[in-house]
C-alpha cells in the first residue's frame, strides 16, 4: 500500500547559469520510498536535492510539501567547531523534544555500529571519522525525508551492511546518491534517473535498473532511426517538388529544417551519453612469474596480532581484492609488501624487476600548491603519455570529469572527490608493473567509477585493490584476501560474491563433519580434560546458526521459481497485479537471503 505523498514537484522549469537544467520536471516522494538518484556528472543530482530541501527555487511549475514534513541531509563538507564533541555536533540542530529522545537512546543506537566515540572532539577527527559523525547526525534526526549523498564513503563493509539493514527498516522516505551499486541494489525500490534534462523513473529499484535503462535507450535509438527515415521522405519530397508547390508549402519546409536541426541535436546528445572512454591495454613485461612472497611473516602491534606465520605468493598478473575491518591489517600488509614496514619475524621477498604504482587513500603524494597540469606533467609540456599514447593534458583531464578551464588551478582548491580523481589520473596514466589501489572508490561518482573499471579491465600487470565496494571487486579482481582479525587471513578464488558463496559452502561442510563426528568428540573429551574449551554460543543462537543454511537454500529456491514465473513475457498483460506481487516478493526474498547470509557470516566467524 502506497504511503502519503510527502513532497511533490510538478512541471517545473529549473535554470542554472541562465540555461535550462530541467524542463517539465515532475516527481513525487511518498512515505516509505527508498529511492536512488543516478545520473552523469553534471546532470543535476545536487541541484535536485537542493530543490527538495527548498534551497533552490524553481523558475516555473509547482513545489508542494506536506505540512510538518521534516527533511534531513547527510553533509558532504562537515563544519567543525573547535572543542565541539561528537555528541554536541549530533544534537546541535535538533528540536528540544527530539533532542531528549535522541540523548536517551537514539545516539547510542547508531554511534556503536558506526564506530564513533560520542565524547571525541570533532576538530581532531580524521576526515572519515567526521563523515561518520555527520551520518550519525542525519540518522539520529530521523526526518520524514532523509537525503544521503555518498553515505558509504569511508565505511567498512560490516558498517555498510548495518546501514543497509537500518535504511531498509527506516519508516520515512530515503533518497540516496551513491557509487556503490551493491548498496543501491539492496536499499532501493525506485530509481530517479537524471538524463539530459529529463527525469526518468525506474519502478524496480537499482537491481533492475541496468536492464530497464538499456530498454529505454534501445527504444530511443529506434525512435531516432524512425525520425531519420521520416526526414529522408520529407527531403525527397522537397527535392522533387515544383516551384509553385514549394511556395505553397513554405511552412512544411520550415518544419522540415527545424526537425533536421532537432534530430541532429538529439542524436548528438544520445551518442555523447552512450560514449565510453576507450583506453589501450598496457603492456607489462618481465621475466620472473613470482613478483612477491611472504614467508612465515609475523607482525604485531603491542598485544595485537596482525600476521601469524603468514605465507603467500603473488604471481605476475594476479588480481587480488582485499577485505577486512579497520585495524585488521590491510594497510600493514600493503606497507610490508612495498617495503615501508619490516616484519617482526619471517621474510618478505620482492622481485627486483617489479616497480610499484600506489594510490594512497590519504593522497599524501599530491602537492597542494601544484596545479592540476603540473601534477600530471611535472616536467612541463602540453602532452601526457597515457599507456603509450600521447594525449593533451586537457583532454585527459576531461576523461576524469575535470573542466579544462581549471587545469591551471592549484590542487588545494579541489574537493576530496576531485583530489581522488586527480591522483587516479596521475597513477593510471602510465601504471607500473604492480598497481596498488587503496580504497580508490571513495568520493567517486558512477561515471568516474565506470572509467576506472574500464581502465583496470585493460591493465595487464599485477593488481591489488583494497575496497569495501562489493560490485567493484566483482568487476575487477579474481582473488580475495580476507583479513578476518587477530592474524587470521584467508584466501578465496573469485570476487566478493564468490567469497561469500565459498564461506557459506565451507560452513555446510564443517557442520556436516561436526554432526558425523559428534560421538568421537564426546569420547575424546574424557581423555583431554585439560584442553581449553572454545567459547560456546547460546542455545538460541546456535539453533539459529544451524538452521540458517536451510533458510538460505529455501530462499534461493523461491527466488529461482519467481524468476522463472517473471520470465513469462505475457504475464504483465494478462495479470498486472500478479506480476507486481511476484516482483515485490522477489525483491523481498533477495533482501531476506542477503540478510541471512550476512547473519551466517557474523555467527560463523
Residue 424 binned pLDDT confidence (cut-offs 50, 70, 90): confident
Residue 37 binned pLDDT confidence (cut-offs 50, 70, 90): very high
Q: Would you say 500 and 522 are in contact if contact means Cβ atoms under 8 Å apart? A: no
Alpha helices in 199-354 (DSSP H): 209-240, 243-248, 250-274, 330-338
> What CATH topology corresponds to 517-604?
Helix Hairpins (1.10.287)
Domain 5-208 has CATH 3.40.720.10: no
Residue 517 binned pLDDT confidence (cut-offs 50, 70, 90): low
More confident residue, 64 or 535: 64
Locate 159 and state its grid cell.
Answer: 558498517
Q: Would you say 325 and 319 are in contact if contact means Cβ atoms under 8 Å apart? A: no
DSSP class of residue 378 equals: T
Domain boundaries, the chain: 5-208, 212-274, 317-336+352-497, 517-604
Percentage of residues of the chain with pLDDT beyond 90? 16
Q: Would you say 452 and 400 are in contact if contact means Cβ atoms under 8 Å apart? A: no
Q: Would you say 97 and 386 are in contact if contact means Cβ atoms under 8 Å apart? A: no
Give the dihedral sign, CA 150/151/154/156.
Answer: negative
> What is the structure's pLDDT at 36?
94
Residue-level length of the chain? 605
Give Cα 296 distance to the centre of its chain.
35
> What is the structure's pLDDT at 244?
41
Mean pLDDT for 208-222 is 82
Q: What is the pLDDT of residues 255-292, one digit of tens each?
A: 555 655 665 666 555 555 444 433 343 444 444 588 88
The strand pairing partners of 371, in sequence order, are 410
Does 5-208 match 517-604 in CATH topology?
no
Rounded to whole angstroms, what are the CA distances from 372 to 313, 357, 359, 366, 409? Answer: 38, 19, 17, 10, 6
DSSP class of residue 361 equals: T
Q: How far apart are CA 385 and CA 430, in angstroms?
A: 7
Comparing 124-133, 253-262, 540-549, 566-575, the range with the smallest average pLDDT is 253-262
Most confident of 282-286, 355-359, 526-530: 355-359
Q: How far apart are CA 477 and CA 440, in angstroms?
A: 14
What mean pLDDT is reported for the chain?
80
Q: How far apart are CA 174 and CA 72, in angstroms?
A: 10
DSSP 578-592: HHHHHHHHHHHHHHH
383-386 and 319-324: which strand pairing? Answer: unpaired
65 pLDDT higher than 90: yes
Mean pLDDT for 101-115 is 78
Comparing 246-250, 427-431, 461-465, the range with the smallest average pLDDT is 246-250
> What is the structure's pLDDT at 1?
47
Q: How far apart are CA 328 and CA 305, in angstroms?
A: 9
Residue 524 binned pLDDT confidence (cut-offs 50, 70, 90): very low
Mean pLDDT for 108-135 is 85
Residue with cell 555518498: 150
C-alpha closest to that of 565 among 589, 534, 541: 589
Q: Would you say 310 and 489 are in contact if contact means Cβ atoms under 8 Å apart? A: yes
Q: How far apart are CA 374 and CA 283, in angstroms?
A: 26
Give the dihedral sign, CA 358/363/369/371.
Answer: positive
> What is the structure's pLDDT at 490?
85
32 pLDDT higher than 70: yes
> What is the structure's pLDDT at 436?
92
87 CB neighbour count, 10 Å cutoff: 20
pTM here is 0.64
Q: Would you say 195 and 23 are in contact if contact means Cβ atoms under 8 Å apart? A: no
Phi, psi of 80 (to 5 degrees): -120, 130
Interhelix angle 576-604/157-168, rounded to 10 degrees, is: 140
More confident residue, 165 or 515: 165
> What is the structure's pLDDT at 220?
76
Residue 533 binned pLDDT confidence (cut-offs 50, 70, 90): very low
Residue 537 binned pLDDT confidence (cut-offs 50, 70, 90): low
Q: How far apart are CA 111 and CA 220, in angstroms?
A: 47
C-alpha closest to that of 86 among 36, 40, 140: 140
Q: How far apart are CA 460 and CA 316, in angstroms?
A: 9
Mean pLDDT for 229-234 is 64
Q: What is the pLDDT of residues 434-446, one digit of tens each?
A: 999 988 887 777 7
Q: How far apart are CA 48 and CA 144, in angstroms?
A: 17
Phi, psi of 406 (to 5 degrees): -100, 10
Q: What is the pLDDT of residues 149-181, one digit of tens each?
A: 888 887 888 888 889 999 988 989 999 998 888
More confident residue, 512 or 344: 344
Q: What is the CATH number of domain 317-336+352-497?
A: 3.40.50.300
In this structure, the dihedral spanned by the alpha carbons of residues 156, 496, 557 and 582, taken in order and rounded to 10 degrees, is 60
Locate 476 and state its grid cell.
Answer: 575487477
Q: Would you say 80 and 123 are in contact if contact means Cβ atoms under 8 Å apart? A: yes
Maximum Cα interatomic distance, the chain, rounded to a whole number of Å = 113
Amino acid at each position: 500500500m502506497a504511503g502519503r505523498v510527502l513532497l511533490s514537484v510538478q512541471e517545473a522549469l529549473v535554470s542554472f547559469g541562465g540555461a535550462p537544467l530541467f524542463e517539465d520536471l515532475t516527481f513525487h516522494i511518498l512515505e516509505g520510498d527508498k529511492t536512488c538518484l543516478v545520473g552523469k556528472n553534471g546532470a543535476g543530482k545536487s541541484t535536485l536535492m537542493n530543490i527538495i530541501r527548498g534551497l533552490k527555487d524553481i523558475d516555473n511549475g509547482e513545489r508542494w510539501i506536506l505540512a510538518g514534513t521534516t527533511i534531513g541531509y547527510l553533509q558532504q563538507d562537515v563544519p567543525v567547531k573547535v572543542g565541539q564533541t561528537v555528541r554536541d555536533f549530533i544534537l546541535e540542530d535538533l528540536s528540544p523534544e527530539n533532542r531528549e529522545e535522541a540523548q536517551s537512546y537514539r545516539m547510542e543506537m547508531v554511534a556503536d555500529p558506526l564506530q564513533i566515540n560520542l565524547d571525541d572532539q570533532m576538530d581532531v577527527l580524521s576526515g572519515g571519522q567526521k563523515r561518520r559523525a555527520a551520518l550519525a547526525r542525519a540518522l539520529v534526526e530521523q526526518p520524514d525525508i532523509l537525503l544521503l549523498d555518498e553515505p558509504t564513503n569511508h565505511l567498512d563493509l560490516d558498517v555498510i551492511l548495518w546501514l543497509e539493514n537500518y535504511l531498509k527498516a527506516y519508516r520515512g522516505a530515503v533518497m540516496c546518491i551513491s557509487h556503490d551499486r551493491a548498496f543501491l541494489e539492496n536499499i532501493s525500490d525506485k530509481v530517479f534517473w537524471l538524463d539530459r534534462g529529463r527525469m526518468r523513473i525506474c519502478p524496480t529499484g537499482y537491481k533492475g535498473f541496468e536492464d530497464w535503462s538499456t530498454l529505454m535507450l534501445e527504444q530511443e535509438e529506434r525512435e531516432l532511426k524512425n525520425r531519420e527515415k521520416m526526414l529522408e521522405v520529407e527531403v525527397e519530397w522537397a527535392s522533387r517538388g515544383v516551384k509553385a508547390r514549394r511556395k505553397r508549402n513554405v511552412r512544411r519546409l520550415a518544419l522540415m529544417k527545424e526537425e533536421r536541426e532537432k534530430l541532429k541535436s538529439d542524436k548528438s546528445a544520445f551518442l555523447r551519453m552512450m560514449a565510453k572512454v576507450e583506453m589501450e591495454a598496457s603492456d607489462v613485461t618481465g621475466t620472473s612469474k613470482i613478483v612477491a612472497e611472504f614467508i612465515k611473516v609475523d607482525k604485531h602491534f603491542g598485544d595485537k596480532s596482525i600476521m601469524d606465520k603468514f605465507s603467500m605468493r603473488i604471481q605476475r598478473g594476479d588480481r587480488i581484492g582485499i577485505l577486512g575491518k579497520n585495524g585488521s591489517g590491510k594497510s600493514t600488509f600493503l606497507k610490508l609488501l612495498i617495503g615501508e614496514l619490516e616484519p617482526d619475524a619471517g621474510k618478505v621477498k620482492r622481485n627486483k624487476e617489479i616497480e610499484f604504482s600506489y594510490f594512497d587513500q590519504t593522497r599524501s603524494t599530491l602537492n597542494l600548491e601544484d596545479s592540476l597540469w603540473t601534477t600530471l606533467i611535472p616536467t612541463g609540456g602540453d602532452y601526457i603519455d597515457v599507456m603509450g599514447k600521447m594525449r593533451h593534458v586537457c583532454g585527459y583531464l576531461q576523461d576524469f570529469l575535470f573542466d579544462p578551464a581549471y587545469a591551471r588551478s592549484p590542487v588545494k582548491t579541489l574537493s576530496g572527490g576531485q583530489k581522488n580523481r586527480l591522483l587516479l589520473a596521475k597513477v593510471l596514466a602510465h601504471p607500473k608493473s604492480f598497481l596498488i589501489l587503496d580504497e580508490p572508490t571513495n568520493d567517486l561518482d558512477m561515471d568516474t567509477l565506470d572509467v576506472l573499471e574500464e581502465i583496470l579491465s585493460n591493465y595487464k600487470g599485477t593488481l591489488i585493490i583494497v575496497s569495501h565496494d562489493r560490485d567493484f571487486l566483482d568487476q575487477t579482481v579474481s582473488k580475495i584476501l580476507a583479513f578476518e582479525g587477530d592474524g587470521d587471513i584467508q584466501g578465496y578464488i573469485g570476487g566478493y560474491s564468490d567469497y561469500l558463496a565459498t564461506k557459506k559452502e565451507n560452513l555446510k561442510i564443517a557442520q556436516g563433519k561436526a554432526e558425523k563426528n559428534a560421538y568421537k568428540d564426546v569420547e575424546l573429551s574424557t581423555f583431554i580434560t585439560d584442553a581449553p574449551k572454545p567459547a560456546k554460543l547460546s542455545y538460541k543462537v546456535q539453533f539459529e546458526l544451524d538452521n540458517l543454511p536451510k533458510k538460505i537454500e529455501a530462499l534461493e529456491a523461491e527466488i529461482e521459481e519467481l524468476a522463472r514465473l517473471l520470465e513469462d513475457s505475457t504475464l504483465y498483460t494478462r495479470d498486472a497485479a500478479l506480476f507486481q506481487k511476484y516482483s515485490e516478493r522477489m525483491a523481498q526474498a533477495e533482501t531476506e537471503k542477503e540478510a541471512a547470509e550476512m547473519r551466517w557470516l557474523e555467527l560463523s566467524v
